[in-house]
Amino acid sequence: MAGLKVAVLPGDGIGQEVTEEAVKVLEVVGKRFGHRFVFREALVGGTAYDKRGVPLPEETLQICRDSQAILLGAVGGEKWDNLPPHLRPEAALLALRKNFQLFANLRPVILFPPLISASPIKRSILKGIDIMIVRELTGGLYFGQPKERRELEGERVAVDSMVYSESEIKRIAEVAFQIARGRRKLLHSVDKANILETSRLWREVVNEVAKSYPDVKFYHLYVDNAAMQLIRNPRQFDVILTENTFGDILSDEAAMLTGSIGMLPSASIRGDGFGMYEPVHGSAPDIAGKGIANPIASILSSAMMLRFSFGLEEEAKAIEEAVRDVLEMGYRTPDIMSKGKIQVSTKEMGDRIAQAIFK
Ligand code: IPM
Ligand code: MG
């Protein structure tokens, strides 16, 4: 049997600890459902820079190319903040996204009912939220050229370029409408069309794509308003479609609806089964190595991997249910801890979830 090939790239900071738990959970899923995973670990980010002199070594790319999915932890840390842009840990993440053309980043924002009191937002506002943020991931400000430092009239000037082509907008819009079709058939496209030319093109193309999805109700929303509406009334959203930078910002904001950014998984896909799966959170160097990081975002990312890369829906659900069960039993990492609950370490949370898979 060939096995299900997964490249495991723990990366920096808490990336190491949380990824270990996700792999643990996947192993248990493999045992329960009779799948053989082939995990191959590789260096990425600052850790790769320290050992190989580059944040994304060729051997890592090779392992990724030879896999069906990438399970990534996190990259980055103060230690590497002063490196030139192309050697920074974040450059590896962007290169992976670009190299493998992972243009669609799916970030589900789901509130597990037992965590309702972990969010700083009022219970009445939070109840029943279930949002899918569809973030364009390989265009916009992150990649647009020119992107450089200049000197102009004796002072330092910097430029980033926001660029979108109609084909880039079309393909991400198609993904979002498809997803909306499988959910509550409601889509909000977020832009800044009152100011940005890229947003005006975005609106045009989204309107064209929408014609093929008459069953999906859709609205355009300015990003500033979207940021406000997410807190004012998050329940009004089903699918949020947006470009790279807006999606980055809105997904961190949305994370707080779920209680902790330690809860948010993500999938970066391109429509053919290959994908990269990573928590929305970063490497959190301040808490790294203390055994207190929340592994749930990583574990839920591995569930997304089963769903999108391997078509294993039942197995993905088993992970999601195990997470819910463990939260219902009262186990909490410090970021989601509340009175009367049982505080556990990163490892213990992973163990509990793995045990719950065999319930
Ligand atoms: C994310 C992260 C990354 C991004 C960083 C680490 C480059 O914030 O995945 O949301 O901005 O895309
Ligand atoms: Mg981000």
Positions of CATH 3.40.718.10 in the chain? 1-101+283-359, 119-258
Give catalytic residue positions: 142, 192, 224, 248, 252
Which ligand is in closest contact with the Cα of 105?
Answer: 1
d(CA 123, CA 108): 19
DSSP state of 197: H
Q: What is the pTM of this model?
A: 0.95
Q: How close is the Cα of 245 to the center of ligand 2, in Å?
A: 9
End-to-end alpha carbon distance in the chain: 27
Q: Which residues line ligand 1 at a C-beta cut-off of 6 Å?
A: 76, 90, 93, 248, 280, 282
Superfamily of domain 1-101+283-359: Isopropylmalate Dehydrogenase (3.40.718.10)
Closest residue by Cα to atom 8, ligand 1, is 248
User: 119-258: which CATH topology?
Assistant: Isopropylmalate Dehydrogenase (3.40.718)
Mean pLDDT by 10 residues, the chain (359 residues): 90 98 98 97 98 98 98 97 96 97 97 88 92 98 97 98 98 98 98 98 98 98 98 97 98 90 95 96 95 98 98 97 97 94 98 93
Closest residue by Cα to atom 9, ligand 1, is 280
Closest residue by Cα to atom 7, ligand 1, is 90
Pairing of the two strands 275-277 and 69-74:
parallel
pLDDT of residue 311: 96
| DSSP conformation letters of 274-327 | -EEE--SS---TTTTTTT-S--HHHHHHHHHHHHHTS--HHHHHHHHHHHHHHH
Return the ligand 1 atom nearest residue 94 CA: 7
pLDDT of residue 1: 52
pLDDT of residue 120: 85
Q: How close is the Cα of 85 to the center of ligand 1, in Å?
A: 14
Reading the block at residue 17, the tokens are: 């600890």
Closest residue by Cα to atom 4, ligand 1, is 248
pLDDT of residue 327: 97
Q: How close is the Cα of 248 to the center of ligand 1, in Å?
A: 6
Which ligand is in closest contact with the Cα of 282?
Answer: 1
Length reported for the chain: 359
Reading the block at residue 305, the tokens are: 């991997």
Q: Measured on CA atoms in the order 62, 66, 69, 73, is the torsion positive or negative?
A: negative
Burial profile 124-146: b = 16 or more Cβ within 10 angstroms, e = fewer: eebeebebbbbbbbbbbbbbbee
Return the ligand 1 atom nearest residue 282 CA: 6
pLDDT of residue 352: 98
Q: How close is the Cα of 2 to the center of ligand 2, in Å?
A: 35
Choosing from 246, 248, 280 the residue with most ligand 1 atoms within 8 A of its CB, the one to mutate for a pocket test is 248
Choosing from 14, 44, 93 the residue with most ligand 1 atoms within 8 A of its CB, the one to mutate for a pocket test is 93
